[in-house]
Amino acid sequence: MRPLIVAQITDCHLQNNPADDYRGRDVEQHLNAVIEDLRCQTPAADLVLWTGDLVHHGAASGYNRLRDRLTALPLQSYWLPGNHDAADLMLALGGPLNQRTIVDQHWVILLLDSTSQPDGMGGGYLASQELNFLAQQLQTYRDYHCLIVLHHNPLPVGSAWQDRIMLGNAAAFWQLLAQYPQVKGVLNGHVHQAVEQQHQGINVFMTPATSVQFKAGCQQMTLEDASALALPAYRVLQLYPDGQIRSVIKRVAC
């Protein structure tokens, strides 16, 4: 049976002025290359999840440019905020992009805002209303397989500087998920590198950025120096009717 095909694009870090670079990279060009690759996918994705840090300075100019690209795509997009985003502005500008519960025949996808209690360093936190929303949705959709999507990583990745700014209340998040065995996957951005782990029997997928990648296993922020891993990237997931998830990272030359 055909799986639901979900693309994840994350950490675009668009600048206010599209001519400005981010850490030496032309992030507009990177994003265009990723979108072009996505458009050429066979079979085509059914939907796209944009998982935060979509712009770098939380300003409308970047969101407007991004929204123009999304509305030109032949498939539906949904977005959620990261620590660089302005969640209120996204709500105001995004319209249907802000839908937080996506229901398919066998799967439900839940989008969370992990940008509560900003620490000024990039760390994340799920507000109590987010945890309540998650619990209520999981209760409602007990008979569906579930993929949970948020910006911040709920598990450490082994880089000291990044593990200090992961999801701050990850313990509460995992404690909640332990009550709902229909959760099959968790999907996040924020780490700018590819990571796949299992926790409590749940697959956790972390995805490289379209903008720049961070090198794994570092004490301090270090840009990826392996040319193949430094390319802009995104993830494609196949969600099967039996609850299995298959996933690949797509790295895009540009």
Nearest alpha carbon to residue 214 among 177, 165, 146? 165
* Residue 130 near Fe ion by CB under 5 A: no
Using the CB atoms, write b or e for 61-79: b if 16+ within 10 Å: ebbebbbeebeeeeeebbb
In the bound state with Fe ion, the residue whose beta carbon lies nearer, of 94 and 208, is 208
Task: Decide: 189 and 13 in contact? Cβ < 8 Å.
Answer: no
193 backbone dihedrals φ, ψ, rounded to 5°: -165, 160
Q: For Fe ion, which is the closer residue by CB, 193 or 247?
A: 193
Name the residue among 190, 184, 183, 167 with its Cα closest to residue 247.
184
How many chain residues interact with Fe ion (CB under 5 A)? 2
Smallest gap, in angstroms, from Cβ of residue 193 to Fe ion? Answer: 11
Nearest distance from C-beta of residue 205 to Fe ion, angstroms: 16
In the shown chain, the binding pattern of residues 161 to 200 toward Fe ion, with x for contact by CB under 5 A and - for none, equals ----------------------------------------
- Please count the other Cβ atoms lying within 10 Å of the Cβ belonging to residue 178: 12
22 versus 107: smaller Cβ distance to Fe ion: 22
Closer residue to Fe ion in complex, CB, 28/53: 53
Q: At what angle do helices 60-72 and 27-39 cross, to 10 degrees?
A: 20
11 lies in the site for Fe ion, by CB under 5 A: yes
**Segment 45 to 104, residues that bind Fe ion, using CB under 5 A:** 53
Least separation, in Å, of the C-beta of 81 and Fe ion?
Answer: 11
Q: Which is nearer to Fe ion, 23 or 142 (CB)?
A: 23
The stretch among 10-18, 40-48, 212-220, 240-248 that binds Fe ion (CB under 5 A) is: 10-18
Least Å distance, CB 53 to Fe ion, is 3
How far is it, in rounded angstroms, from Cα 242 to Cα 247? 15
Helix (H, G, I), strand (E, B) or coil at 204: strand
Binding range to Fe ion, per CB under 5 A, among 9-17, 71-79, 94-102, 150-158: 9-17
Dist CA 123 CA 166 (whole Å): 6
Residue 26 interacts with Fe ion (CB under 5 A)? no
In the bound complex, what is the minimum distance in angstroms from residue 171's beta carbon to Fe ion?
23
Distances (CA, A) of 135 to 78, 116, 131, 184: 21, 17, 6, 15
Interface with Fe ion by CB under 5 A: which residues? 11, 53
